[in-house]
Amino acid sequence: MTTLSALTTRGRSFMAAGITAIVCSFVLGERDLLRAGLLVLSLPLLSVLVVSRTRYRLTCSRRATPARFPAGQEAQVHVLLENVSRLPTGILLLEDQVPYTLGGRARFVIDRIEPHGAREMAYRVRADVRGRYHVGPLTVRLADPFGLVELARSFSAADAITVTPPIVPLPPGRLTGSWTGGGESRARMVASAGEDDVAPREYRHGDDLRRVHWRSTARRGELMVRREEQQWQTSATLFLDTRRTAHWGDGPGATFEQAVSAAASIGLQLGRDNLGLRYVTDEGVVLPPSATFEGSLLDLLAVVRTSTGRSLRPGVAALREAANAGDGLIVGVFGRLTSEDVREMTQVRRGAAACVAVIVGESGTAPEVIRLLHVAGWRVVTVSSAAALETAWAEAGGSGFRGEPDRTEAR
């Protein structure tokens, strides 16, 4: 019965027609009608027998380019199906399971794959909502040439596709703060050790060969290059307020979604500035600095959700540790702030560290609260959405401030 369930509508119609012809042949006494009925009935049954005994050995691999892309853009998924058996395949109906958010199912028809041959299919996916989605598994439906039987077999492998928050390109330029390794200490270090001895690192693909540090290369046994930008490197912290009470609205236009997009954009820009960046939320440290920080940050922001906490205290404690450790720049992305939140945030700033507060939603935070942040040494940038961040970021970076209060707001 399981095998007969593989009959298509056409196959069932053939069986019904064959049985009807056989019954009518007995009623009418027509032998020719009996022969025709047996022929029509045997065709779907033979097709079921042939398809059910088919033993193809197929392998499937899948890759998405890119595997991580911003919401609102597209990616292409390539599916490679290989026939590793010694027999050619028949007609194959392929269906890759794709979440509705990415565009629905992808279907293909392949006439034949020769022994040890392969076929590659491609389709596009697009999502307007960030998140991590699974594509697959691939379902292969075996069909006979007459379309009477269709037997489904499924692979088990599925692949993850990460849709990140929309990324707003920010203008280059650093927000100045307590930069390490520069100034007179840098000059003294160069004078005593020489320019070529300053912080060599491992060679990376794309590095200029003229920067190879041969003395360190001979000592380490691998290519080493001069880290010429060491004097501008420092550590920074990116803070995101995820409290549900600090945001409002639903869908892509909600202040939380706009704040996540702003945090992703700022994080990528600070990473391109070669900062040792860490990511903190109101619940505490989430992601420490690492060589793969950019990708890890996007993966986290793709699935981040609002928290049920009402206080910034755990996050503020992590920010104080970062400031005490010498972080020269702290950038916080907030929703609605209250005077109590500001009192907690005033404990963060230490020494010459630059502190920037990006408040998403112009009508959410009272003017007196913003003034208190200014007095506490925070530079406040207020934007209505992440799309307005580009202009505000250019104004923040072009003012040359070093953590001192600014009496203007970027909108």
Q: Per-residue pLDDT averaged across 30-39, rounded?
A: 86
Residue 111 has pLDDT above 60, yes or no: yes
Which residues fall within 8 angstroms of residue 235, CB to CB, at 6 or more apart?
180, 275, 276, 277, 278, 289, 322, 325, 326, 327, 328
Tokens coding 389: 């961040």
Tokens coding 70: 């911003």
Residue 202 pairs in a beta bridge with 224
In tens, the pLDDT along 244-298 reads 988 888 888 889 999 999 999 999 888 887 778 889 998 887 888 888 888 899 9
d(CA 301, CA 135): 20
Residue 402 has pLDDT above 50, yes or no: no
**Closest among 94, 7, 5, 91 to 47, alpha carbons compared:** 7
Give SS3 for 227.
Answer: coil
In tens, the pLDDT along 9-26 reads 888 888 888 889 888 988
Q: Which is it for strands 118-126 and 224-226: parallel, antiparallel or unpaired? A: unpaired
Q: Per-residue pLDDT averaged across 35-58, rounded?
A: 80
pLDDT of residue 303: 92
Q: Which is it for strands 235-240 and 276-281: parallel, antiparallel or unpaired? A: parallel
53 near 96, Cβ under 8 Å? no
Residue 150 has pLDDT above 80, yes or no: no
pTM above 0.85, yes or no: no
**Beta carbons within 10 angstroms of residue 150's beta carbon:** 19
DSSP state of 87: S
Q: Per-residue pLDDT averaged across 363-381, rounded?
A: 81
Q: What is the pLDDT confidence band of residue 363, given thresholds at 50, 70 and 90?
A: low
d(CA 287, CA 263): 13
